[in-house]
Structure 1
Amino acid sequence: MTAPSPTPDPAPTSGSGYLYRKVALYLRDHPDRPHKVGEITKAIEAPSTGAVAEAAKRMVAAGHATHHRDPHHRFQITQAGIDAAGALPPTTSGSRGGSRRSRGGKPAPITRPSGLLYYPRRLGSDWDINVLHKLRSQRMPVLLYGPPGTGKTAMLEAAFPDLLTVAGTGDTIVDDFLGSYAPLPGGGYDFVYGPLVQAMREGRPLLVDDATLIPPRVLAILYPVMDGRGKITVTTPNGAETVDAADGFYVCGGHNPGVHGAILTEALASRFTVQVEVTTDWDLAADLKVPKTVIAAAVDLNLDLAAGRIGWAPQLRELLGFVKVKDTLGMTAALSNLAGIAPDDARDAVTSALSRHTGKPVTALALGKR
C-alpha cells in the first residue's frame, strides 16, 4: 500500500499537511540533486529540521523521493514525485537548475556553476532543461552532438549543477574514469577514486565530453552502467571492490562529429537511448546583441560547413566572444579577431564572408608597425 499523493491545502497556513506540501514543491522545483534537510528547511522557512525530515521521509515512503546519507541526510524527488506534485500550484522561488518562467513565457536564463548564463531552448514539445531532467529520472542516457561551441556542455551544466566531467581525448585511459594512485604530501601514495566512481556513489550525473575521441576499449568501462547492470568493479589497494550506482546517477555524452578522430561506434551509439543535435540558435545570438551582419556571415559559413566546403564556421561561443571584443576594442578589432581565430584552411572563407556582409575589408588581427 502506498501513501496518498500530496495535495494542496485549501487554506495552507500551518500544520504537517502544509509543510509536506512545501517540501514536495521545493523538491519538485529543484530536482537536479539530493538536498540536505537543513538546506530545505532554510529555503522554505520551516520551523524545524526535524519536521522537514519527517515530511521528506513520508515522501520516500510514498515513492516520491529517495533518501541518501553521506553522512548527511539528503532527499531528492523521483519522477513519481514530480508527477504527483504536478497538480500543485507553482512556488515563487526559483531554481538554479530549474526552468522558472520569464515574463514572455520562456524559461528565465539559468546561472551555470561558472557564473555564466544559459538560455533554455525548445526540445520537442518542452524546454531542453526539462527534457534532461526527465531523461535523468528515467535513466535514459543522452548524447548531445554538434559542432564545438554550440552549447552542449553549457546545457548540461545548466540542467545539472552537480555534474561531474571526464574530458575525452585520444589519450584518455581507464584510470581517468575509475581512479589511480596519487602521491601524499608526507610521502607514499594513496588511491583516489575517479569521477565515474564518485558519480555512481553520490548519485550524480557524469558527462563524458568528446566521448567519441576516447579509444573504444577505454569507453567499454561505461557499458555496464549504461545498459542496466548499474555496477562496476574497481581494483584498489584493498582488492576488487564492487561499486553500485546510487539513485540519481546518470551518464550523458558530448560528440563533435566534424572533429578529426571522433568516431561514434555502434557499441557506444546503441547505449545512448536519446541523441540530440545541438546547433547555434541565431535568434538567441541576435538577442544577445550579435550584429545582424555578423550573424548573416556566420549563417553562410555554416551552410558551407554543412556542405563540406570548409572545415570550420563560427558558432555561438565565437559570436559571444565577438560581442565582448567589440564592446572592449571596437567593431573593426572584433571582426579582425573573429577572422584570426578561424583555422588556416577556413580563414579566407571567413574573412570573405565577414567583408561581404559588413561592407568592410577584414583581415586577421595582427600587430602593425611601430
Structure 2
Amino acid sequence: MFSVTELAKMLGHSGGAVGNACETLVVQGGAERVGSKPRLYRATPKTAAAAQAAVPPQPTPGPTPPTPRQAPSAPAQASTAPPGGRPQPVTRPNGQQYHPRALAQLPDVEALHKLREAGVAVLLYGPPGTGKTSLIEAAFPDLITVAGDGDTTVGDLIGEYTQDANGGYEFIYGPLVTAMQEGRALLLDDATLISPKVLAALYPAMDGRRQIQVKAHKGETINAADGFYVIAGHNPGVHGAVLTEALASRFSVQIQVGSDYDLAASLNINRTAVRIARHLATSQQAGEVGWVPQLRELIAFQKIADVLGTEAAFANLVGIAPLEDRDVVAEIVTKALGRPVTALALGRQL
C-alpha cells in the first residue's frame, strides 16, 4: 500500500497530479483505494495490464517548442484531416478512438483548441452518455479531471493536509492548483453537482486575476501558468444538477451535446437498435417519453449482443429504461422487432 505522498516522492511528480492519476486508476480498475486519511492505494490484478498499456510521451521533434505565452499545442494525432478530407479519429488516453463531429464549421476537437488558445471557457451540456467527456479527453491530452458530486469540497479542488508515512502532515495540492502550476486543462465533470460555495474557490483563477489564495496553506498565492484552461460538463435533468448564474457566466461558450446516431450506425451497431433510439429521440422531443438511449447505451448494446445475443441485448435495452418510461420503450421495441420484448430477467432454475 502506498500513500499519495510516498508515490509523489518516488515518481518525482506533484502530489496533486499523482493523486489524480491514482483516482483515475481506481475508476479504471487498475488500482484500489484502501484508505482515506491518508489516501492509500494498492495494486489489483489489472494493474500490470494498465502499466503495459501506458506509453510514456515521446519528445516531439522538429520546430522550436512553444514560447511561455502560448498554450500547449495538441499532439499530431489530434490534428484535422487534409483540406476536403474527413478528420481522422483521435486516440483518447484509454486507447479508444474518438470520431470528431462538426462544431461551428470545424471539427469539434479543432474548435476546442482554438477556444483554449483564445482563453474562452467552454461548458458542454447534454444527457449522460452523449460523448462530452470523450470529446474533452480527445481535445486535451494534458487534461486533469475532477469528478464533481455533492460531496466535493474546496480541499478536493485546492488541496489539503495529508498524513505522511512518518506520522506528520504534509499539504498535498489538489487538481486545480496542479493544473494552474503546470498550465494544463482542467475538466470539471458534472460541475453543476458541486456546491456553489465550493465552485467559488475556482472563480478567481478563471477571471482576469488568474490566481487563487490557498488559505489552508499559509495563504499562499497560486498564479496560473500560460496554458491553464477550465472546461466543464453539465447533465441537465440529473437530480441535484443546478447551473447557477455565477457558474454559467464564467463559461462564455455553452455547447449542447447530443448523441450522433449516424456515428452509431457507422460503428456497426445493430441498425434496428439505432432506429429504435432515433424513434425514442423523436418521441422525447414530442414529450411522449423522458428517456432515450444515448451513444453509450448503444455501444453497450452491441457488446451485450456480441456476448449474450441480440435477443438479450434488446431485453436489456428495455430493462435499463427508467420505470416511468419502460412500458413505452417496451412497446416501441416490440413494434420494431415484431415480437413481445420484456426486461431482461432470470428464468426458471435449470
TM-score range, shorter chain: 0.7 to 0.9
SS of 1:200's equivalent in the other structure is: helix
- State the alpha-carbon separation in 1 of the partners of residues 195 and 149 from structure 2: 8
* Alignment match, 2:129: 149
Higher mean alpha-carbon deviation, 227-236 vs 239-248, is at 227-236
Equivalent residue, structure 1, for 2:236: 257
Distance 2:201 2:72 in 1: 29
1:346 Cα offset (Å): 2.0
Match of 2:165 among 180, 185, 209: 185
2:323 is aligned to 344
Q: Distance in 2 between matches of 1:247 and 1:213?
A: 28
Any idea what SS the aligned residue of 1:115 has?
coil
Query: In 2, are the aligned partners of 1:66 and 1:77 still within 8 Å (CA)?
Result: no
TM alignment of 1:58-77, pairs within 5 A: 65-67=66-68
CA distance in 1, matches of 2:344, 2:249: 45
Q: Indicate whether 1:40 and 2:60 are aligned.
A: yes
Taking the aligned partners of 2:170 and 2:183, their CA distance within structure 1 comes to 24
Contact 2:71 2:117 in 1 (8 A): no
Contact 2:91-2:97 at 8 Å conserved across structures: yes
TM-score by length of 2: 0.78
Deviations 1:43-76 (A, max 9, x none): x5xxxxxxx7xx44xxxxxxxx2249xxxxxx86
Change in Cα spacing, 1:259 to 1:101, as seen in structure 2 (3 Å) is farther
User: What is the CA-CA distance between 1:298 and the residue it aligns to?
Assistant: 0.9
Moved more, 118-127 or 359-368: 359-368
| TM-score computed with the length of structure 1 as normaliser | 0.74
Backbone CA RMSD of aligned residues: 2.4
Q: Distance in 2 between matches of 1:95 and 1:328?
A: 36
Aligned twin of 1:10: none
Structure 2 alignment gaps of length 5 or more: 1-55
- Greater length-normalized contact order (CA 8 Å, ≥ 6 residues apart): 2
Q: Which residue pairs with 2:88 in the alignment?
A: 108
Code of the residue aligned with 1:226 in structure 2: it is M
Q: 1:353 aligns with which of 321, 325, 332?
A: 332
Residues of 1 paired with 2:95 and 2:328: CA distance?
34
Which amino acid letter does the alignment assign opposite residue 240 of structure 1? G
- CA-to-aligned-CA distance 1:156-213 (integer Å, 9 cap, x gap): 0000111111111122111111011222233232211111000000011111111111
Quick one: percent identity of the two aligned structures? 54
Q: Is the 8 A contact 1:325 1:334 kept in 2?
A: yes
Please, which runs of 5 or more residues in structure 1 have no aligned partner? 1-35, 45-51, 57-64, 69-74, 83-93
2:47 aligned partner: none
Q: Secondary structure at the residue paired with 2:215?
A: strand
* Counterpart-to-counterpart distance in 2, 1:255 and 1:330: 34
1:200 aligns with 2:180: yes
**C-alpha distance 279-229 of structure 1, shift in aligned 2 (>3 A):** same
Residue in structure 1 matched with residue 307 of structure 2 by the alignment: 328
Matched-pair contact (CA < 8 Å) for 1:141–1:273: yes
Q: CA deviation at 1:240?
A: 1.0
Which residue does the alignment assign to 2:39? none
Q: Give the AA of the match of 2:60.
A: I
CA distance in structure 2 between the partners assigned to 1:339 and 1:95 by the alignment = 42
2:277 aligned with 1:276, yes or no?
no
Whether the aligned pair in 2 keeps the contact of 1:99 and 1:110 (CA below 8 Å) is: no
C-alpha change, 1:183 and 1:310, in structure 2 (3 Å) is: farther
